Amino acid sequence: MARYERAYRLNKTYSQRGTYLNQVSVSIEETEIYDAPDGAAIVQVAYTYDAEIEGDDGPIEIDSPLLYASYYVDDEVVLRAVDKELQENVSRLVVDPITQGQPVECF
């Protein structure tokens, strides 16, 4: 799931910043596995990203807070869900990808 989230964040940043983007990187801080139905997995990924974009007066550094994305995976689909609120101490699944997720890949 870390690869899915890294790809998602990189693609989103490239599409938002376009030709002004000098560099971007994603750091996966933690992954947590949760109980899931038989034949499936639920994983939460905590990550940060940073980027450098070209501004009118030179480069601008962007650093994200710690962000969370939750994934549900079975033999038919990968669902991704995010909580738009910033979380300080997460010891539970932030957002349920089964009920709130959007498909990112179908098999």
Contacts of 67 (CB under 8 A, 6+ apart): 46, 47, 48, 49, 82
The pLDDT assigned to 17 comes to 81
Q: How confident is the model at residue 89 (pLDDT cuts 50, 70, 90)?
A: low
Q: Whole-angstrom Cα distance, residue 29 to residue 19?
A: 28
Enter the pTM of the model.
0.83
- pLDDT, tens digit (0-9, with 9 covering 90-100), for 11-64: 888 888 878 899 999 999 999 999 999 999 999 999 999 999 998 899 999 999
